[in-house]
Amino acid sequence: MAQYNQVTPEIVERLQAIAPGRVYTGADVNEDYSRDEMPIYGTRMPDVAIDAMSTEEISAIMKICNENHIPVTCRGAGTGLAGACTPIAGGVVICTMKMKKILSYDTDNFTVTVQPGVLLNDLAEDALKQGLLYPPDPGEKFATLGGNVSTNAGGMRAVKYGATRDYVRSMTVVLPSGEVVKFGSSVSKTSSGYSLLNLMIGSEGTLGIITELTLKLIPAPKVTVSLIVPYESLPDAIATVPQFKKAHMNPQALEFFEREILISSEEYLGKAVFPRNVGGTDVGAYLLVTFDGETQEEIDAIVEKAAELVLDAGALDVLVADTPAKMKDAWAARSSFLEGIEEQTKLLDECDVVVPTSRIADFVGYVKSIEPEFGFAVKSFGHAGDGNLHIYTCANDMELDEFKKQVDTFMTKIYDKATEMGGLVSGEHGIGMGKIEYLARSVGETNMKLMEDIKKVFDPNLILNPGKVCYKL
215 — phi, psi (to 5°)?
-115, 150
Query: CB neighbours (10 Å) of residue 350?
Result: 23
Q: Residue 431, interface with a copy of itself (CB under 8 A)?
A: yes
Contact predicate 432/470, CB 8 Å? no
469 binding a copy of itself? (CB under 8 A): yes
Q: Which helix (H) or strand (E) holds 59?
A: helix 55-67
Interface residues for a copy of itself in 258-297 (CB under 8 A)?
294
Spatial distance between the Cα atoms of 198 and 141, rounded to a whole number of angstroms: 23
Query: Which of 34, 59, 86, 426: binder of a copy of itself (CB under 8 A)?
Result: 426
Task: Give dist(CA 226, CA 255) in Å, integer.
Answer: 11
CB within 8 A of 445, min separation 6: which ones? none
**Residue 368 interacting with a copy of itself (CB under 8 A):** no
Give the nearer residue to a copy of itself in terms of CB position, either 35 or 169: 169
- Going by the DSSP 8-state scheme, the letter that residue 56 receives in this structure is H
Show Cβ contacts of residue 109 under 8 Å, excluding neighbours closer than 6 positions: 186
Which residue pairs from 9-14 have beta carbons closer than 8 angstroms and sit at least 24 positions apart in sequence? 11/64, 11/68, 11/70, 12/48, 14/64
Which region, judged by CB under 8 A, interacts with a copy of itself, from 46-54, 280-288, 339-347, 356-364? 356-364
Judged by CB under 8 A, which of 17, 103, 187, 400 binds a copy of itself? 187
Q: Which residues touch 143 (CB under 8 Å, ≥6 apart)?
A: 76, 77, 79, 80, 119, 120, 153
Least spacing, CB of residue 182 vs a copy of itself, in Å: 8
Residue 135 CB, nearest approach to a copy of itself (Å):
13
Which x/- pattern over 31-70 shows residues binding a copy of itself (rule: CB under 8 A)? Answer: ----------------------------------------
Q: Quick one: 472 exposed, middle or buried, by C-beta within 10 A (0-12, 13-18, 19+)?
A: middle
Q: Which stretch binds a copy of itself (CB under 8 A): 17-25, 27-35, 93-101, 195-203?
A: 195-203
Kindly state the smallest distance separating residue 120's Cβ from a copy of itself, in Å. Answer: 16
105 binds a copy of itself (CB under 8 A): no
* Sole binder of a copy of itself in the list 130, 195, 277, 409 (CB under 8 A): 195
* 30: DSSP letter: -
Smallest distance, Å, CB 213 to a copy of itself?
14
Q: How many residues are recorded in the chain?
A: 473
> Whose CA is closest to 96, among 25, 165, 150, 17?
150
Angle at 463 between CA 459 and CA 468, to 5 degrees: 90
Between 158 and 229, name the residue whose CB sits nearer to a copy of itself.
158
Does the footprint of a copy of itself cover residue 304 (CB under 8 A)?
no
234: nearest Cα among 211, 217, 257: 257
Query: φ, ψ for residue 261 (rounded to 5)?
Result: -75, -35
Query: How far are the Cα atoms of 265, 387, 399, 465 from residue 354, in angstroms, in the given order?
Result: 23, 5, 29, 25
Q: Does 387 bind a copy of itself (CB under 8 A)?
A: yes
423 belongs to the binding site for a copy of itself (CB under 8 A): yes
- The answer to whether residue 178 forms part of the interface with a copy of itself (CB under 8 A) is no
Identify the residue among 439, 462, 463, 464 touching a copy of itself (CB under 8 A).
Answer: 439
- The nearest distance, CB 170 to a copy of itself, in angstroms, is 8
CB of 90 to a copy of itself, least distance (A): 24
CA distance 138 to 152: 10
Comparing CB distances to a copy of itself, the nearer of 119 and 201 is 201
Q: Which of 167, 163, 117 is nearest to 142 (CA)?
A: 117
Which of 58, 153, 254, 261 contacts a copy of itself by CB under 8 A?
Answer: 153
Answer for which of 222, 276, 328, 368 binds a copy of itself (CB under 8 A) is 222
Q: Does 235 bind a copy of itself (CB under 8 A)?
A: no
Task: Considering only residues 309 through 328, tell me which ones interact with a copy of itself, judged by CB under 8 A.
Answer: none
357 sits near a copy of itself (criterion: CB under 8 A)? yes
Q: Is 101 in the site for a copy of itself (CB under 8 A)?
A: no
Q: Does 466 bind a copy of itself (CB under 8 A)?
A: no
Rule CB under 8 A: say whether 470 interacts with a copy of itself: yes
Question: Of the candidates 77, 262, 355, 414, which one interacts with a copy of itself according to CB under 8 A?
Answer: 355
The helix/strand/coil state of 449 is helix
